[in-house]
Amino acid sequence: AQKVTQAQTEISVVEKEDVTLDCVYETRDTTYYLFWYKQPPSGELVFLIRRNSFDEQNEISGRYSWNFQKSTSSFNFTITASQVVDSAVYFCALSEAEGAQKLVFGQGTRLTINP
């Protein structure tokens, strides 16, 4: 069975600090997809990144970076030099090749960036 665990329920940091959001997943499939979504207070889930199980390259997009490690079943997300606008709930999610339309979400991490 699939499972996504985001152990950090809430994180609060001061602006300009770096922050890492942890995501650990479980799946029996060899082909699967991992996602990060951002949900600001307005409610919309904003897609940030998709990574498939065959691509373990880390990715950097501006201040955002993602570290995918199959050996530890983790897909962590780091925000460098955080800003107040980064305050949101962040969800990690998993889908499998069989049943790719079913996204399994973690419980989310509420990130607060204080000025």
Partner 1 sequence: DTEVTQTPKHLVMGMTNKKSLKCEQHMGHRAMYWYKQKAKKPPELMFVYSYEKLSINESVPSRFSPECPNSSLLNLHLHALQPEDSALYLCASSQSRGFEETQYFGPGTRLLVL
- Sites of contact with partner 1 (CB under 8 A): 31, 33, 35, 37, 42-47, 50, 52, 91, 95, 97, 100-103, 105-108
Question: Between residues 52 and 58, which has the closer beta carbon with respect to partner 1?
Answer: 52
CA dihedral sign of residues 114, 109, 91, 67: positive
Question: Between residues 31 and 58, which has the closer beta carbon with respect to partner 1?
Answer: 31
Shortest CA distance to 13 belongs to which of 64, 107, 86?
A: 86
Minimal distance in Å, beta carbon 25 to partner 1? 14
Minimal distance in Å, beta carbon 45 to partner 1? 4
CA distance 71 to 88: 29
Minimal distance in Å, beta carbon 16 to partner 1? 27
Specify the 3-state DSSP secondary structure of 12: strand
CA distance 37 to 77: 11
Question: Between residues 42 and 71, which has the closer beta carbon with respect to partner 1?
Answer: 42
